[in-house]
Amino acid sequence: MKYLKRVMILEQRERSRARRVAHAVRIVAALAALIVPASALGRSAGVAAAGCDNCHSGGQSPTVTLTADPPNPTIGQAITLTIGVSQTNGAAAGFYLTTAYNVPGVFKAVDTGTSGSGSGVLHTMPRVGSGGVTTFKAQWTTSQATGVTFDVFALSANGDKTNRGDGAGLAHLQLAVGCTGTTYYIDQDSDGYGSTDPAYQTRQDCTQPPGYAAMAGDCDDFRAQVHPGALEQCDMKDNDCNGQVDDDVVYQAFCQDQDGDGHGVIGATTKMDCKPSAGFGDCDADCDDRDPDVHPGVTEACDGRDNDCDGKVDEGARMSCGLGLCARYAIGCTDSCTPGQPFAETCDGYDDDCDGEIDEGTNEALCGDVNVACVDGHCTGEPGAGSTAGTGSGSVSSAGGGGGSGGGGPSRGLPAAGNSGAGCAFSALPGHARVPGWLLLGATLLQLRRQRRLRIFWVFSRRAARARA
C-alpha cells in the first residue's frame, strides 16, 4: 500500500514537470515569432513587383538576359521571350516579366511553374536549373504595329527557403512589331530635343510617343531654352549644348558703378563682360556716381542740379503755363507764371489763339477764301470769285470777275488768274484814259514788292514778340 502511494506521488510530479516544459516551449515560440520577421521565411511563389531586392538581400546580383524569337516579329505573331538567370547564389531562380509602358498586347505563360496575367508573367514556384543558368520562357502577342519595351526582374536564390543570401538583377529588351522602329529620347522640357542621360531609357516605337523626341543631344532637359542650336546667352550656361559656356556672345567694356544705377564713370575701373555685373555699368559718363538718381537719361528735375548729366541745369524742368503761342515758363522753380496774349488764328502751323488747337477755323477766316484750304500751315487751292485778300501767312490771290467786256460798275474782285495784280483791284478805264501796259506792269511790280516787305515785316514782328515773351 505504501509502495502504490509512492508511485502515484512520482507520477503527479512528472505530469507537473511536463506541463511546465510545454508552457516554456509555447513562450519561446511566441518570443521567436516576435523577434524573427516574417520576411525571413521564404516565399515560393513570385510577386509582381518592379524588383526583388526589396525582399531579398545578402547575395550577389546575377547576370540576367532577355531575348526574343523572332527578333523582328510581325503583327499577330507570337513572340517567345527567354529569360536567363545566372546561378550566382545558387541553382534556384524566379522572375517577373512585364512591359515598361502601357502597350496593346497579351502575355501568355508557357512554362510549368509560371503564371500569366494582364500585366505580365511570373514564377509560381522557384525553378532549379543546371549548367550555370536557370531559364524561363513566356510569350507575348500584339494585334497592331507598335513598339514595346520588356522589363524582367529576376532573382538568384541559394535555396535555403529564406530571403537571406539571395541577389536580384534585371534586364530590358526593346522590339518594334510591324514596323522598322525609330529610337526616341525622353524630352521632359518639350523643346524638341531629348536627353541621352543613361538614367532615362530610350524608347523604340513606330510613331513618336508623347514626352519623347526624335532628336537627341539636350544637355539640360529641364530648361526649354537649352538645346542644340539654341541662342547662346550671357548666363554662364551652355545654352546651345556645344560644350562651351557663353561662347558667341558679345563682350564689351563696363565702367565702375558705385551707386548701382547701371551707369558707370568713364576713366574709372573697367571690366570686360557680356553683361553688367555688380559694381559695373554702362560707360556713359555718370556725372555723380554717389547718387543713383543722377545719370544720363534721367528726367531733369527742378532742383538746381544737372540730373541727366547733359551739362545743363533744370532745362525743361521749370513749370510752364499757357497753350500754343501763349506758353511761358515760370520764374525759376516757382509757380509764378503768366501766359502770353493770344492772336487771331491764321494758317501758319501754330496755335495763335492759344486754345490748344492749331489752324482751326473756316477757310475764309484762315486763308481769305472759301475755296482755299489750310493744309499743314499753308493755304492751298484755287481762289474763287468775289474773294478778298487772305489774312493768313499763307493767303493767296483769288480769281475775280473784273476785266469783263460788259457794262456795269467796276469789279470789286481780284484780277483773274494770270493777271499780275495780286491783292489789287483794277476797274475798266475809258479808252481815252487808258494807261500804257508798261506803266501798269511797273505799278504792279511795285505793289507786289510792297506786299512782300509788309509780309516780311509782319513775320519778323511776330517772331520778335515771341522772343520777348
428 pLDDT more than 60:
no
Residue 367 to residues 197, 373, 398, 420, Cα–Cα distance (Å): 81, 7, 10, 19
Between 201 and 53, the higher pLDDT residue = 201
CA distance 166 to 321: 95
Between 427 and 327, the higher pLDDT residue = 327
Number of structural domains in the chain: 4
Residues 64 and 152 in one domain: yes
Residues 86 and 134 in one domain: yes
401 pLDDT more than 80:
no
Name the helix (H) or strand (E) containing 183.
strand 182-186
CA distance 363 to 137: 102
Whole-model pTM: value is 0.49
* 426 and 444 Cβ atoms separated by less than 8 Å: no
Q: What is the DSSP letter of 431?
A: G
Between 296 and 417, the higher pLDDT residue = 296
Residues 175 and 186 in one domain: no
Residues 275 and 352 in one domain: no
What percent helix, strand, coil does the chain show, rounded to 5? 15, 25, 60
CA distance 443 to 395: 21
386 pLDDT more than 90:
no
CA distance 310 to 300: 10
Residue 26's pLDDT band, with cuts at 50, 70 and 90, is low
Nearest 10 degrees: Cα torsion 447, 449, 453, 456: 120
The answer to whether residue 409 is domain-embedded is no
Write out the residue range of the structural domain in which residue 346 sits.
318-401+458-469
Residue 139 to residues 64, 79, 94, 136, Cα–Cα distance (Å): 18, 5, 17, 11
Residue 30's pLDDT band, with cuts at 50, 70 and 90, is very low
The answer to whether residue 89 is domain-embedded is yes
Residues 326 and 393 in one domain: yes
Residues 331 and 468 in one domain: yes
Residue 174's pLDDT band, with cuts at 50, 70 and 90, is very high
The answer to whether residue 173 is domain-embedded is yes
The answer to whether residue 43 is domain-embedded is no
Residue 60 pLDDT = 94
Sequence-separated (6 or more) residues with CB below 8 Å from residue 304: 313, 314, 333
Mean pLDDT of 76-103: 95
Task: Quick: pLDDT tens for 217-227.
Answer: 999 999 999 99
Burial 371-394 (b: 16+ CB within 10 A, else e): ebebeeebbebebeeebbbbebbb
Mean pLDDT of 20-42: 46
Mean pLDDT of 90-116: 94
Residues 212 and 274 in one domain: no
What number of CA atoms fall less than 13 Å from residue 283's CA on the CB side?
12
The answer to whether residue 415 is domain-embedded is no
Residue 275 to residues 247, 255, 256, 292, 361, Cα–Cα distance (Å): 13, 12, 13, 19, 55
The answer to whether residue 423 is domain-embedded is no
Residue 108's pLDDT band, with cuts at 50, 70 and 90, is very high
424 pLDDT more than 50:
no
Residues 382 and 340 in one domain: yes
Residues 119 and 260 in one domain: no
**DSSP-based three-state secondary structure for 463:** helix
* 152 and 64 Cβ atoms separated by less than 8 Å: yes
What are the grid coordinates assigned to 169, written together? 538583377
Determine how β-strand 252-256 pairs with β-strand 270-273: antiparallel
CA distance 270 to 174: 58
Residues 330 and 243 in one domain: no
CA distance 96 to 325: 94
Residues 322 and 384 in one domain: yes
The answer to whether residue 353 is domain-embedded is yes
Residues 348 and 464 in one domain: yes
* 374 and 363 Cβ atoms separated by less than 8 Å: yes
Residue 90 pLDDT = 93
Is residue 102 exposed (0-12), middle (13-18) or buried (19+ Cβ within 10 Å)?
exposed
